């Protein structure tokens, strides 16, 4: 009997072994592919591969916007219930509120993905991951960083948390700068840790770099002087634009108030907008040189043509045009030097409104600069056929039209370079730009000589810094409020170039609502222009002017407050 029992046991063992073997064959051979796929389905995941956004640089290669690698923490609520005991430790390490974290996990319990913290420093992410909380993961992303901070903020703009451009060049060239994301398959263990990289599904492609025309040295200079002046005069804000005379490249563009693009809390509309392009204003007396240019181009005037401005005012129907003084008989050049509203209006009255409007349009007023910057305001230049004589007179000294600071800089560039209008650009030019002539070289030279006298003996003597011979024009205009012109609020203006004998740079300065005792363009904007131009020309290695004026700090005034 015992031998039979032994035999039965042996048969049973052999049968079991055969069954196990058959099962092993089935698993290892027949069902191998199916089981491998099932295993991978439970442990393999597709992860995104973020692409590095392109670098924005100034004309000398200095970085203005870069993307640095950071970590993003996320959780799978299905693996991390809201009542998990590790949540207090997780919240503390991730710098989150524990109660709010529990609430978020509970309300998203059906999801497989929930952000905990976006784009944190790797050290913080490492501290969180070392807790080994189930269902908590990290992935690499990029965060945009702006080394120059608020100095270049209005030009560069910024991105949102997903690295998409929201303002400035980041928005204008978003498609160029943005990379193409990729993806890859990875294997994870039961704790969610990546244990094997299975390779890419789609390669990531980094974005393209962008080389701007800005010179960071000049940008810092313009920003520093503008900020100091706005604070000193208690002003609402201001703008500086600086152009290369022979290329139309924007070398500096600064605004106040500014924002630090690295701080998302500062991104309110008042700080974000690039006032040099978005804000329009009546240019006042800074337009008078172009009225003079139109007169010279007509062939009916020369710089020595005399106009009688007595008795210091001019009645045109219900309107009165005034000067600060009765200047008597002035030449066309002296009208610009003294900034006589009466004189320039009489010149305009002898021209047709069409001739004046045509020249204004040819230098860029009333049309887009073509810069392609978001939010650009074109401004207003009235049609000549609808202008009454009094409107032609007002247009001659800068009322009845509106411009932005960049348009004004582009217009002054035509005076500086001998009558050529180039397209303005924020991109570094690798080739000589194609411009077109808008006035004769002789007209531009004659007007430039008038503007040099403005700085040496006229309303702009505070722009004279004694090293370089500069040229320019002051302006002072009433600000426009909800109910029309504000009687006691002004915009101080100065537009000019230097050095006179061989202009290299054009600069426009505007200061909004200076609230101290000084508010004229010659008092507020001219000194800013002088300091910026003096330092800028030194940085550009321009030799000092041989005949530079050593004018004192006497105050000039505009003939008609703009």
Whichever domain contains 195, its CATH number is 3.90.1310.10
Q: 512 lies in a domain?
A: yes
Work out the pLDDT band at 32, boundaries 50, 70, 90.
Answer: low
Phi, psi of 118 (to 5 degrees): -95, 130
pLDDT tens figures, 55-65: 999 999 999 99
> Which CATH number is 392's domain given?
3.40.710.10
The model's pTM: 0.84
On whether both 324 and 184 belong to a single domain, the answer is no
Region of 364 (left: φ > 0; alpha: ψ -120 to 50; beta: rest) is left
Same domain, 205 and 241: no
User: If we measure between CA atoms, which residue out of 138, 165, 134 comes closest to residue 70?
Assistant: 138
240 close to 507: Cβ distance less than 8 angstroms: yes
pLDDT at 246: 94
In a domain, 269, yes or no: yes
If residue 104 lies in a helix (H) or strand (E), which one and from where to where? Answer: helix 98-107
Average pLDDT, the chain: 88
pLDDT at 407: 98
Shared domain check, 226 and 165 = no
The H-or-E segment that residue 277 falls in is helix 275-278
Per-residue pLDDT, 265: 77
What is the C-alpha to C-alpha distance for residues 510 and 225, in angstroms, rounded to an integer?
12
**Is residue 308 located within the same domain as residue 247?**
yes
**Mean pLDDT, rounded, for 100-115:** 90
Give the pLDDT score at 112.
85
Q: Which of 158, 186, 211 is the last residue of a domain?
A: 211
Q: Is residue 17 part of a domain?
A: no
Residue ranges making up the domain that contains 518: 216-539
Question: Does one domain contain both 149 and 231?
Answer: no
Whether 430 maps to a domain, the answer reads yes
Q: Do 143 and 282 lie in a common domain? A: no
SS3 sequence of 430-491 = CCCCCCEECCCHHHHHHHHHHHHHHHHHCCCHHHCCCCCCCEEEEEEEEEEECCEEEEEEEE
In-domain check, residue 230: yes
Same domain, 129 and 183: yes
Q: Does 192 share its domain with 240?
A: no
Residue 480 binned pLDDT confidence (cut-offs 50, 70, 90): confident
- The tally of domains found in the chain comes to 2
Q: What angle do CA 540, 544, 546 make, to 5 degrees?
A: 155
Same domain, 407 and 430: yes
DSSP E strands in 258-311: the ranges are 306-308
Side-chain-facing half-sphere of 249: CA atoms under 13 Å = 20
Instruction: Return d(Cα 353, Cα 337) in angstroms, integer.
Output: 23
Instruction: Place 140 in a pLDDT band, splitting at 50, 70 and 90.
Output: confident
Determine contact, residues 336/473, Cβ cutoff 8 Å: yes
C-alpha to C-alpha distance for 522 and 223, rounded to whole angstroms: 20
Nearest to 72 by CA among 166, 178, 143: 143
Active-site position among 138, 285, 339, 384: 285
The predicted structure's pLDDT at residue 238: 97
What does the block give as tokens for 194? Answer: 């990546």
- Catalytic residue flag (residue 345): no
Confirm whether 262 is domain-assigned: yes
550 within domain boundaries = no
Q: Same domain, yes or no, for 525 and 455? A: yes
Residue 189 lies in a domain: yes
Q: Are residues 356 and 285 in the same domain?
A: yes
């Amino acid at each position: 009997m015992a031998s039979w029992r032994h035999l039965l046991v042996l048969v049973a063992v052999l049968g079991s072994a055969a069954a196990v073997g058959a099962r092993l064959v089935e698993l290892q051979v027949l069902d191998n592919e199916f089981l491998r796929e099932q295993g991978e389905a439970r442990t393999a995941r597709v992860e995104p591969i973020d692409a590095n956004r392109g670098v924005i640089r100034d004309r000398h290669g200095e970085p203005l916007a870069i993307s640095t690698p950071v970590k993003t923490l996320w959780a799978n609520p299905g693996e991390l219930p809201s009542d998990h005991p590790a949540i207090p430790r997780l919240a503390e390490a991730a710098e989150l509120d524990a109660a709010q974290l529990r609430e978020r996990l509970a309300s998203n319990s059906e999801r497989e993905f929930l952000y905990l913290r976006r784009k944190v420093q790797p050290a913080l992410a490492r501290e969180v991951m070392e807790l080994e909380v189930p269902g908590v993961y990290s992935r690499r992303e990029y965060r945009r960083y702006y080394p120059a901070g608020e100095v270049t903020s209005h030009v560069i703009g910024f991105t949102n948390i997903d690295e998409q451009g929201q303002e400035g060049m980041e928005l204008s060239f978003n498609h160029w700068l943005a990379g193409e994301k990729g993806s890859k398959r990875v294997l994870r263990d039961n704790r969610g840790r990546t244990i094997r990289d299975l390779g890419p599904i789609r390669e990531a492609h980094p974005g393209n770099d962008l080389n701007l025309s800005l010179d960071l040295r000049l940008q810092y200079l313009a920003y520093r002087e503008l900020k100091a002046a706005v604070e000193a005069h208690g002003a609402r804000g201001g703008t500086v634009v600086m152009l290369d005379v022979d290329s139309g490249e924007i070398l500096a563009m600064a605004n106040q108030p500014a924002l630090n693009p690295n701080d998302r809390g500062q991104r309110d509309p008042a700080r974000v907008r690039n006032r040099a392009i978005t804000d329009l204003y009546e240019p006042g007396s800074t337009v008078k040189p172009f009225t003079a240019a139109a007169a010279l181009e007509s062939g009916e005037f020369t710089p020595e043509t005399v106009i009688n401005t007595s008795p210091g005012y001019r009645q045109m129907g219900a309107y009165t045009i005034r000067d600060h003084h009765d200047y008597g008989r002035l030449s066309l050049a002296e009208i610009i030097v003294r900034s006589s509203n009466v004189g320039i209006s009489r010149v305009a009255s002898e021209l047709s409104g069409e001739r004046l409007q045509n020249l204004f349009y040819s230098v860029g007023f009333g049309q887009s600069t073509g810069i392609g910057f978001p939010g650009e305001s074109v401004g207003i230049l009235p049609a000549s056929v609808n202008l009454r004589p009094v409107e032609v007179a007002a247009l001659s000294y800068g009322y009845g039209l509106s411009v932005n600071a960049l348009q004004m800089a582009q217009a002054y560039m035509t005076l500086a370079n001998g009558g050529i209008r180039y397209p303005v650009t924020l991109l570094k030019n690798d080739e000589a730009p194609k411009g077109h002539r808008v006035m004769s070289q002789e007209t531009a030279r004659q007007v430039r000589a008038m503007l040099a006298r403005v700085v040496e003996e006229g309303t702009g003597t505070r722009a004279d810094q004694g090293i370089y011979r500069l040229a320019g024009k002051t302006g002072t205009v009433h600000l426009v409020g909800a109910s029309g012109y504000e009687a006691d609020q002004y915009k101080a203006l100065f537009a000019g170039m230097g050095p006179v004998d061989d202009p290299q740079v054009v600069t426009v300065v505007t200061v909004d609502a200076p609230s101290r005792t000084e508010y004229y363009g010659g008092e507020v904007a001219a000194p800013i222009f002088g300091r910026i131009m003096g330092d800028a020309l030194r940085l550009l290695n321009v030799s000092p002017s041989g005949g530079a004026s050593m004018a004192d700090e006497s105050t000039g005034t505009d003939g008609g407050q703009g």
